[in-house]
Structure 1
Amino acid sequence: MLYEWVLAALPSEKAEYESWRVDVVLGDLSVPYEFQHKPLHALSGGWQRTAMLAAAWITEPDILLLDEPTNHLDLHRIGLLQKWLTGLPRVVSVVVTSHDRAFLDATTNRTLFLRAEQSRVFQLPFTAARAALDEADAADERRFANDLNKAQQLRRQAAKLKNIGINSGSDLLITKTKQLNERAARMEAAAMPAHQDRSAGDIKLANSGTHAKALVTLTDVSVETPDGRLLYKTGQKWILPGDRIVLLGANGTGKTRLVKLIQEALDGAMDAVKSGPSVIPAYSDQHLSQLSDSDTPMTAVAGQFDIGDQRARAVLAGAGVTIQMQDTKIGALSGGQKARLAMLVLRLRNPNFYLLDEPTNHLDIEGQEALEDELISHDASCLLVSHDRSFLRNVGNRFWLIKGTKLEEVESPEPFLNMEMGAR
């Protein structure tokens, strides 16, 4: 049971007499009573993560170390976690690693960027710190260029003195020439090049384009649970070229069901879902189930697309799958490598319409930003589901909200996000 699991985190001499601590912690983390007495393995990943946090906090630590604490949490749970973290006593330090930019901005006041040569820390939350880091890197780049320019000027002066010294037979000028060259060499050796990030792999998308006026038409589609219970109806909806539609709704309301339903309808036939004959869809779900762990990256690419082995290896390397990993099982890849491989497979389909269910799962911040840039710069058309507030705000230009048993178009995601994040 979740309750007993958290209780077991207390030292044995405290567990018998201080079990009340469990009630307090689970109450602070808003864990419903009925969930407290369910087997941990029967709960979702989000509740399991909450239980892990409760077990850490009940020991009254001086410092909390949180590794991707928002993984598997819906927006409402993320909001509760943010509120809880910001309400902790100031004497408790919290160290967080996270790819959730909005979460970092809401809960942190210092940001450390780890680098092999020289890590940088700023007394700022993530977004402001990222801007400060970019400014610092730009200053380093200017300083490096300036140092090299000064060294080159010294070498030019040395070359002139050398000619004068040779022509005049002056040993003094020859000595000064040597001194100038040595000084230039010291400046070049001391010059520090600006930091260059090592890319985890490119994320590139394609947009083959279409002359269709509407990519997809939904005619009052019924979205149901697997056992046939109605969740909501879509009404009459159109997805047009250039639309980047974000599907909003609380957990369990049927966002993934609609995306999957449209994907299946485009592959087959469904009277309530129409698509233009030129529509080429590409679908990726939150578990990347379009990839088989038993395949290799090479078979996933060269086996599906007629691009030849040499080209397949080149595009895989560009996506961050090294030569050494290309013939190993996909199951051995990291989450980030799998996500980049999945995006590569989508691109090679040369689609003009993307169906993306939690596409930023497993992507680092660099990957999230690259995916954002690709969707926007290619004017890609897509229907997407995401709990990543920064991503959906940056990418979306239309928003559909599941409200009760209806699908409504809304102007902005902010009222829904504010409600889900706990501003009720």
Structure 2
Amino acid sequence: MTVMNINDLSVVLGEPLFENLNLTISKGDRIGLVAANGRGKTSLLDCLSGVSEPTNGTIVRARGLRVGYVAQYVPEQAYSHTLYDWVLSALPTEQAEYESWRVDVVLGDLSIPYELQKLPLKQLSGGWQRTALLAAAWITAPDILLLDEPTNHLDLNRIGLLQDWLSHLPRDLPVVITSHDRAFLDATTNRTLFLRTDRSRAFTLPYTQARGALDEADAADQRRFANDLNKAQQLRKQAAKLKNIGINSGSDLLVTKTKQLKARAEKIEDAARPAHQDYSAGDIKLTNSGTHAKALVTLDDVPVQTPDHQLLYKTGRKWILPGDRIVLLGANGTGKTRLINMIQDALAGHDGPVKCAPSVVPAYSDQNLSQLSDQDTPMTAVTGQIDIGDQNARRVLAGAGVNIQMQDAKIAALSGGQKVRLAMLILRLKNPNFYLLDEPTNHLDIVSRLNAFETDLV
């Protein structure tokens, strides 16, 4: 049974994100939505959910269809609510008064510890905030579930729990997932839509198999295009020969035949369409100004605590040395970001238990990219912090995947991946020798994750 029909859908924001998209979503579909950063995935989900309208085309929904939409970002008004109250608020007022027990069921199904349920969302880690958004969408008993980057901020264990939770949903419930996690898409989807500016392609396969089928289809398109051009070229050569013969012999028939051959060649050339070419969303490169310090940061058995001063762990005696590449692992809520914040405080010159060398030139990006202001534009964000001139600023922005149309738009209009690219660009232009990055691959597309980060660090 069809729940949603998408017909000739287009979204244009300065330039087309995608055009002429046709897709049918039926019961039981688990669709992985794949595209490079800034190519329209969230815009499509906004259209499917009714949050925004497409530029052209129609979406026909089944009568009375309830849509559960889990967006990429936590709404600002949610932070002051406890996790429990935020999920409860998703229910209609009368239903919330008499059926609050449903909140307990949903939170239990998602394995959310009781002690976290009564805390304000602003005190919780990004992973638990994402889980709260999922719970709020699920409690409304949707007929279709739209998930925009559901694995962002989740630790490996929570990703596994989410996969298991999705696998136990009713089999006929359609789910549309945007994700840059290939393994997650393979585990949770049975269809894949590759969203493109034109000629988007859908396959009844999970991501890895669909990617192989897409490559074969693109290769076939390229062969067809080459054959069509070769055929048109041969017709033009025949027309040229007949033209010479016709002129020399004075044959009107051959002149007419020449025109016919040229017309056929033009028709073939007009109909020939090159295969889709994936354009890079931009490189992410980090540079290093160097330092002679033996130890950049010193952790002398530093205690890491919750905001209400409960001890989470102690670091032991650790040194961060030039050339170190350190990954900080731990379950959601165990204090990874707390330690990152303590190191950042030290780098900013605040006294505390973490010590850093005087020669450290830091570059810090938190998981919410709070160093970027949504009211700035990419141009003002770059030129306001780095003296490189407007022309160079536009060049480096384009190289980082922020095209000319977006460079003077508000940062709020950028996709999550474009914001990450902009943030990393600004850090690189400051020429630091120490990078402190909290969840830097959130929002990055699959190709960028495979290549992140190109670096000249030593």
TM-score, scaled to structure 1: 0.71
Which shows bigger deviation, 67-76 or 147-156? Answer: 67-76
Q: 1:244 to 1:92 in 2, by over 3 A?
A: same
For residues 8-407 of structure 1, the aligned pairs below 5 Å read 21-36=102-117, 46-47=127-128, 49-58=130-139, 60-197=141-278, 201-208=281-288, 210=290, 216=296, 218=298, 220=300, 222-225=302-305, 227=309, 229=311, 231-237=313-319, 239-241=321-323, 243-263=324-344, 265=346, 281-293=362-374, 295-321=376-402, 326=407, 330=411, 333-361=414-442, 363-365=443-445, 369-370=447-448, 372-373=450-451, 375-376=453-454, 378=455, 380=457
- Map Cα deviations across residues 298-354 of structure 1 (whole Å, 9 max, x no partner): 333223323222222333344454556545654565544432221221221234543
Q: Which residue of 2 aligns with 1:400?
A: none
Query: Residue 124 and residue 273 in structure 1: after superposition, are their counterparts in 2 closer, same or farther (change >3 A)?
Result: farther
Map Cα deviations across residues 202-255 of structure 1 (whole Å, 9 max, x no partner).
2331434759696746464525336595732243445453x5432212234333
Between the aligned partners of 1:292 and 1:19, the Cα distance in structure 2 is: 38
Per the alignment, do residues 234 and 166 of structure 1 end up closer, same or farther by CA in structure 2, a change over 3 Å counting?
Answer: farther
Percent identity, aligned pairs only?
68
Paired residue secondary structure (2:451): helix
Mapped contact 1:114–1:120 kept (Cα < 8 A): yes
Measure how far apart 1:115 and its partner are.
2.8
Check the 8 A contact 1:203/1:371 in 2, yes or no.
Answer: no
CA distance in 1, matches of 2:347, 2:84: 46
Q: 1:55 to 1:120 in 2, by over 3 A?
A: same
Question: Aligned Cα RMSD in Å?
Answer: 4.0
Q: Which amino acid aligns with 1:81?
A: L
CA distance in 2, matches of 1:371, 1:51: 26
Structure 2 distance, partners of 1:261, 1:44, is 16
Q: How far off its partner does 1:137 sit?
A: 1.9
Question: What is the CA–CA distance in structure 1 between the aligned matches of 2:89 and 2:335, rounded to whole Å?
Answer: 36
SS in 1 for 2:199: coil
Deviations 1:361-381 (A, max 9, x none): 3x3415xx33652524x4546
Q: Which residue of 1 aligns with 2:46?
A: none
For each residue in 1:126-172, what CA deviation from the matched residue of structure 2 results, as whole angstroms up to 9, or x when unmatched? 23323332332233223212221221222123222322332343434
Q: 1:323 to 1:6 in 2, by over 3 A?
A: closer
What residue in structure 1 maps to residue 64 of structure 2?
none
In the alignment, structure 1 segments of 5+ residues that lack a partner are 382-424
Instruction: Decide which structure has greater helix share.
Output: 1
After superposition, the C-alpha distances for 1:40-83 in whole angstroms (9 at most, x for unaligned) are 78766654544454454455544333333334544433322211
Contact kept? 1:206, 1:352, Cα under 8 Å: no
- 1:379/1:180 CA distance change after superposition, 3 Å: same
List alignment gaps of at least 5 residues for structure 2.
1-81
